[in-house]
Amino acid sequence: MVVQPSGRVVRDRRGLEVIVERRIPVPAEDVWGWLSSPAKVRKWISGARPSVVEPGERVELVASDWSATLSIAALDSGTIVYAKERADGSRAAADAGPRWEHSLDRLVAAIGGAKAPALEPYLATQRPYYERLAMDGDPMSWPPS
């Protein structure tokens, strides 16, 4: 099974950042609960602890070997969730990208009451994509400041 990657790796003054997003057809208030409640976070991502940065807008998830910022934006048709994680290099981006693609798909499944997808297809098909983006640069990366 091939799972098509959709994220980006951007380079700025601080280095690399992996960015993955998902559109969820649910109101932002409901999605926020899935990002900020420790009990709900455990249902879609293991080993992470949420820490609210901006109530209703941004939360930091911290695990033993990574941390990421998740933010939400309300849309007319639901909510968009952005996951952003700093990467030390192309190999770290190759790990972070598939992990966030998988985690956000697990979030969508948890919210919808569907079966969660397996991790292996994400790792097998997406690592080269994210590693290449990190090495070559994302054509949509932020302009230099």
Task: pLDDT band for 2, please (50, 70, 90 cuts).
Answer: confident
**Helix intervals (H) in 45-87:** none
Which tens digit of pLDDT belongs to each residue from 32-43? 999 999 999 999
Other CB atoms within a 10 A radius of the CB of residue 115 amount to 8
Domains of the chain in start order, with CATH, are: 8-136 (3.30.530.20)
Q: Mapping DSSP to helix (H, G, I), strand (E, B) and coil, where does residue 92 land?
A: helix
pTM (predicted TM-score):
0.90
